[in-house]
Amino acid sequence: MNILEGIKLFNDGNYFEAHDYFEELWINSTGSYSEFYKAFVQISVGSFHLISNNFNGALSQYSKGVEKLQKFPNNFENIRVLKFRQDINFIINEIKVFYSKKIYNFKVTKIPFIELNT
């Protein structure tokens, strides 16, 4: 299995399928890779929750995933981890503002892509 397939699923907006793919990687990995793949499982689930308007679920899963990604270098396995963390943190903050101000028209315009180093 290759992480690039999971990234393609995620970037194509197939968050549930990306979750399944990353979960397989996670289950079959050890050491730091296990945490790395689990972060992508959680962020994929968070994205699925977000498009399903389950903001509590999105906030919970995004927060767990970003916390795991904090342990990795800014660029890891050719993935721009820092950029992805920043993009997900932006959504986390938007959800928190939504809850703090009780705004009822919350809509994320774009879920970030997982970008590779070029």
User: pLDDT, tens digit, for every residue of 49-104?
Assistant: 999 989 899 999 999 999 999 999 999 999 999 999 999 999 999 888 887 776 66
Place of tokens 């050491």: 31
Q: Kindly state the percentage of the chain with pLDDT values over 70.
A: 95
| Distance in angstroms (rounded) separating the CA atoms of residues 54 and 30 | 31
In a domain, 84, yes or no: yes
What pLDDT was estimated at residue 23?
Answer: 98
- Other beta carbons within 10 Å of 77: 13
At 1, the pLDDT band (50, 70, 90 cuts) reads: confident
| Distance in angstroms (rounded) separating the CA atoms of residues 38 and 65 | 7
In a domain, 48, yes or no: yes
| Distance in angstroms (rounded) separating the CA atoms of residues 85 and 2 | 21
Helix count and strand count (H, E) for the chain: 5, 2
In a domain, 113, yes or no: no
In a domain, 110, yes or no: no
CB of 101 closer than 8 Å to CB of 37: no
At 110, the pLDDT band (50, 70, 90 cuts) reads: confident
What pLDDT was estimated at residue 118?
Answer: 77
Burial code of 49-66, b = ≥16 C-beta within 10 A, e = fewer?
bbeeeebeebbbbbbbbb
In a domain, 61, yes or no: yes
Mean pLDDT of the 18-36 span: 96
What pLDDT was estimated at residue 56?
Answer: 92
CB of 111 closer than 8 Å to CB of 91: yes
Q: Worst-scoring range by mean pLDDT, 28-32, 104-108, 111-115?
A: 104-108
In a domain, 117, yes or no: no
In a domain, 81, yes or no: yes
Name the domain count of the chain.
1
For residue 69, give its domain range. Answer: 3-101
CATH of the domain at 68: 1.10.3450.10
Q: In 3-state terms, what secondary structure has residue 76?
A: strand
